[in-house]
Amino acid sequence: MIRFILLQNRQGKTRLAKYYVALEESEKHKVEYEVHRLVVNRDPKFTNFVEFRTHKIIYRRYAGLFFSMCVDITDNELAYLECIHLFVEILDHFFSNVCELDLVFNFQKVYLILDEFILAGELQETSKKAIIDRMGELEKQE
């Protein structure tokens, strides 16, 4: 199960934080700080997995942005790595060539996309097309 998903830039600014477990506000800040510190200085040759407290962070860097997922210790790391990539592809497709600024100014859309992709800490849809189509339908409702 995914405990939380973080999207942070190199300076440690959080661009998206989605928690699927209940944490205190102060604890969330601490987690975000610690995760950033863990991933930011790792050699690109290193594994994309870091142990974090009793869980594991699966992270991947795209330009200046770090996508991190905290998952259970028994979960399939490689699968979540692929999952991050799929999410990035969806964002890239949706914003056509996504950059950090897109995510800042449309943060609420990023959350909405994520809600179509992952729910309750589990995968909801694995097709990029299905999610993009669904977002289109939802936009029409506005």
Partner 1 sequence: MNPFSSGTRLRDMIRAIRACKTAAEERAVVRKECAAIRAAVSENDQDYRHRNLAKLMFIHMLGYPTHFGQMECLKLIASAGFPEKRIGYLGLMLLLDERQEVLMLVTNSLKQDLNHGNQYIVGLALCALGNICSAEMARDLAPEVEKLLQSRDQNIRKKAALCSIRIVRKVPDLAENFMGPATTLLKEKHHGVLITGVQLCTELCKASTEALDYLRKHTDSLVRVLKDLMASPYAPEYDISGITDPFLQIRILRLLRMLGQGDADCSDCMNDILAQVAAKTESNKNAGNAILYECVAAIMGIEANSGLRVLAINILGRFLSNRDNNIRYVALNMLMKAVGVDTQAVQRHRTTILECVKDSDASIRKRALELVFLLVNDSNVKPLTKELIEYLEVSDPDFKGDLTAKICSIVEKFSPDKLWYIDQMLKVLSEAGNYVKDEVWHALIVVISNASEFHGYTVRSLYRALQTSGEQDSLVRVAVWCIGEYGEMLLNNVGVLDGKEPMTVTESDAVDVVEMALKRHMTDVTTRAMSLIALLKLSSRFAPCSERIREIINQQKGSLVLELQQRSIEFNSIIQKHQNIKPALVERMPVLDEAAYIGKKASSSSATLSTEKTSHSNSSGVTVSLPNGVTKPPAAPLVDLLDLTPDDVPVSSSSGGDFLQDLLGIGSSPNSSLPGVSQAPPTGGADILLDLLSIGTPSPVSALNTVPTSQDNMSSVSPLEALSTLPSPVSSAQVSQPSMLGSVKGTIDQSKQPAGVAPVMDLLDGLSSNPLSLDESNPLYPSIIAYQSNTLKIAFSFSKQPGKPQITLIQATFTNLSSNVYTDFVFQAAVPKFIQLHLDPASSNVLPANGNGSITQSLSLNNSHHGQKALAMRLRINYKVNNESKKEDGQINNFPSDPRCLCMLTFFN
Question: Residue 141 corresponds to which amino acid?
Answer: Q
Find out whether 56 and 49 touch, Cβ atoms under 8 Å.
yes
Choose between 13 and 63: whose C-beta lies nearer to partner 1.
13
Residue with tokens 């600024």: 101
Report the residue from 12, 72, 99, 107 that binds partner 1 according to the rule CB under 8 A. 107
Report the residue from 34, 37, 46, 72 that binds partner 1 according to the rule CB under 8 A. 46
Report the residue from 40, 61, 93, 112 that binds partner 1 according to the rule CB under 8 A. 112
Q: How far is the CB of 2 from partner 1 (least distance, A)?
A: 11
Is residue 27 at the binding interface for partner 1, with CB under 8 A as the rule?
Answer: no
Rounded-to-integer distance, Cα 43 and Cα 125, Å: 32
**What is the DSSP secondary-structure string of 72-125?**
-TTS-HHHHHHHHHHHHHHHHHHTTS--HHHHHHTHHHHHHHHHHHEETTEE--
Binding residues for partner 1, rule: CB under 8 A, are 14-17, 19-20, 22-23, 25, 29, 42-43, 45-51, 76-79, 81-83, 86, 104-109, 111-112, 115, 119-120, 122-130, 134, 137-138, 141-142
